[in-house]
Structure 1
């Protein structure tokens, strides 16, 4: 017996009708693939209504360390400008090159994705794996609801003719016409599973599905198919008990059906022209999204669970989740991010790792000389605690933890001692209430007021080759005992060297990012001050831009350097506990690793600004040619001084020479100033003349124009007119359009008759 009831979710109907509509469809394209036909890298099937397309697509690399795109067979919305896949066939087995992949019918009648090599060898990347008899007449059709169906006599796509369909194997998206279901007879579980991260289409760890109990009528969110962290509650005939706010509304309807054979959930939108999707997001939240044509983007209208920190293990082990900060996740004291690249791609489930191993000697009644318990207050305590009945004080509880080397933390409150072993998960910061948990960590004391968890090196480490020198000391190439190549910076001058030493260790020593140079350790011995960094085999950016014996960097590499530096600065400004202003961005302080990934370096002038402050007063610092106007005027500074310096560096990346280094006797001062040349060339539409002649015109002119516009915005006189570094990243990634910038007033005074708007 079936019992089907409609659940209605709340929206303002008039508002939606005024803002939502389906974009116009493209010209009709074939929606069917038959045996003997192939779908190659540049081909696609399009549903008869034009709304969906099936074909191969390629993901762009969004990290500086991963430059290899992956190719997938998938279905996406075909009528909107923002590429949005809704189903992926080979998410866990991508194809390396679009030119060597194709979709066809295999010998057994199944749909298959083949990858061929230049030697004409082929391998099966994906198959529909349907049970097909040899005498069946087959076809594959992309239906108007986005369902890819394989079957016989398929023109009407009746269930009796369907041998396989993509709706039976959803990935991260649930579309109208599909089901979230549990078959009580076969055990088939139709569920949506998050992607691994924002670019990797492989299945992730979070799922949205029906609870597996045959009598259950609830929908749940789970982590790793085992840890339930959200439930809709049971269906009561009108709505699910834990989300009563969804009852009695009139726009989006959710239906629950229960029979002896199957339990399933479907949804329908009242207006068939509205594009909609349910998505299990990388964040572990299930989101309902609608396409708003006015903003030309998807808008999230419903989310479960509502709080990001309610998602199980969202931040991974040894982290603290805080709903009112961004990013939500931070490492616990004494720990660092396990994989900065994964965090950059919104996958934080790997969490953090201990900076220094615990002492944990044979004498287990006390910690080592550098081992301490670090208290964290106002936190929601993690689960899986072990209660110690014999401990009746905080000290006794600490001792109980020290007895076991696997113990990582303890908490004592209201006469109860709790200890945790192994990884700590789901620790959550609260504004008030909660408990106090004490974490067992190692402190390395560098000086009286600064504690850091890093390796400490002796002056006797071998320093064999001088790499360069700066205003505060020299840099040498060195080797550790395990033959690891390092760069050792020796600071000169007792007073100034100490100041720079503390500035660098207290800034770069506590953060990690793929585009920031990694501080391996330091030496603080007598009056000697050494900083030990990872070695950068490709030196600094200036060596390639300005020196005649440097490598000529291709435009692709230059663009990736510009983007990587922007990401590193955005992290310093927006994602650290305090805003860190570098104060000396220039090509000499941008190092390049073996693959030319940029690393921002030299934090000796860095300035910390608390999140509660917008400006900071400090003495002038930096390098002439890269200084923002506010340095000269003596006004308080913000992170926008780094934005200005970055803009000047962008211009030098374009030209391959110093901004003010090209002046002949016939040139006026405006011709000698490259930013003025950029303004004039943008005005005249002659941007190709700006490029480094060594590139011989082999550039992406669209990217060049974008970089020129971004640079001109960055060097605006007024800091409020400059973008943030996070906005710069969006511009360079092509996610936001760059408007036409005005000419900076100081440049305008040099340029004389130039129009005040760049055309």
Structure 2
């Protein structure tokens, strides 16, 4: 019983033939080495747990083939690794450290935190580079049954698994199914990626992935399953690991470090069909709306263009013109035309030159081509020489 500390190459017994294990026991205070309520140990499923008296406080998920327990970022890469060793039916957890690395140790802190420490020769102190639980919802079952801690968010928060909804404002009450599963009426499994597998599972040995899936699908009480290939652990443990859950899923987490695994969750088939059907309806509707919006935008642009071409020219009144001979200013919204030139062009607003009358006044034709030529030479656009449209004035 190594009190609260385990050093590299020491072995922590997880279980033996009598289902007993070795525990780390935290100090009661920084200066009080008497035993506290916090202890750490393992079980036959190779889970690592911290207990507060008899209640779980934090749990590391069942072994899934990942050997690295903590990553200490340095130029040489990870320097601490974890292995499970089978010694005649008794399983031990062993930590090893790379050659030339700093001195390291793992402790169960008096606060219940699991900490990996590395000696800093510059500051002559122990640096913490890994600790759990990492957040409030990382504590055991803090998000309640069928809830999970989403560690991928900037701030880890509790959420409900797919197909479930919150029971109340307090997530400790967990989540409930939106639609109950009726045995024999069809159901499906959805894949939840990168998950910390829940607690309270049934460990089935020596199963392939298909056999593991069949174990759950044929039992209406099975809510989820998970499978891992442990062949990279050598001959120390079983080559496969099939976990099935027959009731509530507790202490689940969405991992943000890529060390999670697939969790296959049972939901009613109608939920899958409903989502698929809604998607099939939504996509054509969205495409149709997009086409209609494009047509409307083109029509509006064309309408604005027609309005601009149909918009009447603004003409200055004689008081504004004075005796100026400036005919057209590109930077002005007004077309500057000498009033005397207009009189000459219309032959003094002669009735013989009237083409017709409209809501905006009388329309005159040009009277003298020489005057029109004069206006053209001054810069008046030729289109305006063909016909004049001005307000009737005295």
TM-score by length of 2: 0.37
- Higher Rg: 2
TM-score by length of 1: 0.20
Whose relative contact order is higher, 1 or 2, with alpha carbons under 8 Å and at least 6 apart? 2
